[in-house]
Amino acid sequence: MPREDEAAALLGATLSGRYRLDEVLGEGGMGAVYAGTHLKLGRKVAIKLIKPSVAGDENGLERFFQEAQAAASVESEGVVDVMDLEVDAERGAYIVMERLQGEPLTTRLRRGKMRPEEAVRIIGELLDVLHAVHSHDIIHRDLKPPNVFLHRDEKGTEVVKVLDFGIAKVAQRHLTLTGEIVGTPRFMPPEQACGEELDQRTDLYAAGMLLYCCLSGKAPFAGVQGPKVITLLVRGPTPLRELEPDLPPALLAVVDKAIAPEREKRFASAAAMAAALRASLVDPAPPAATAAPDAPPEPDEPRERRRTPMTLLMVALIVLAVVLGVGLTVFRHSLP
């Protein structure tokens, strides 16, 4: 039976005698997400029900619980509100969350590239959420369009919500072994593809790639699928200035810095990136190269010249990882 049919077969079922599964909203690697109803309160909720294959794996089950606990630990309007975490005797563990109204960033991107003002607003709000997440020593590690939701609140205001903390890295927890690669290749930085130790700059790279998508209307590494994406990470996608030369230079500089292959050249924090992003529309001129020690490379510098020995080493490691098949889970995502 196809996975979609398996999820649909549970419609109308109840969990723990409290929640009814009303509609399938989507399905991910760890479970299916349903629109549901709290039977006693009549409240509309979203319910993520664990897959049997995940429930039977100790590490997978712990990741599922961590997803709920990580999201619940962050006090931010931009993190989906977790209301309950329970285990149904028959159907397994499930997470009850607030029911969102709106659309994922994936849907918005299908309508084409955004005006700079809209892109800056959305990614700026995302960075505000990341600032709160990182302050709790949590790294999301899988920011991509389906995991960024544009929610309409009761007042009709659009609010950016971050979803799916299933592979988040939480301090003091070791659910990922050194050398294990998790995430979505199209939005992961080279160090993540190499299975190296990660920090908050991993999420900032992904935010930079999302900004790239918003401003260009194109997925990074468009036309390339699967593990082949990994081999292109160090080179980077087609420079945004080649796709959208009329964008403000300061905005282009923010993108360049955010998606720098070497993490030491990226922004140090979500707050710093958010400030530079919002300032890029106020003062469209890029900062002088001497203004800050971590300023991005000059835009006209040949790309080949910027490759350092460490960069070449990372290329070799990435290619080796692909050849050896290190258990990379590839999530395919395409934009028009």
Residue 129 pLDDT level (bands cut at 50, 70, 90): very high
**Which pLDDT value is given to residue 171?**
58
What average pLDDT does this structure show over 207-215?
97
What average pLDDT does this structure show over 24-46?
94
Model pTM?
0.80
pLDDT one-digit tens code per residue, 264-303: 999 999 999 999 999 999 887 776 654 444 544 444 444 4
User: Residue 333 above 50 pLDDT?
Assistant: no
pLDDT one-digit tens code per residue, 313-328: 455 455 445 444 443 3
User: Residue 202 above 80 pLDDT?
Assistant: yes
pLDDT one-digit tens code per residue, 216-237: 999 887 767 666 777 777 778 8
User: Residue 49 above 90 pLDDT?
Assistant: yes
Domains of the chain: 3-98 (3.30.200.20), 102-324 (1.10.510.10)
**Which pLDDT value is given to residue 163?**
92
**Which pLDDT value is given to residue 4?**
63
Is the pLDDT higher at 188 or at 90? 90
* Percentage, residues of the chain above pLDDT 90: 57
What average pLDDT does this structure show over 241-260?
96
Altogether, the residues listed in the chain come to a count of: 336
Residue 311 pLDDT level (bands cut at 50, 70, 90): low
User: Residue 334 above 80 pLDDT?
Assistant: no
**Catalytic positions, written as ranges:** 142
* Percentage, residues of the chain above pLDDT 70: 77
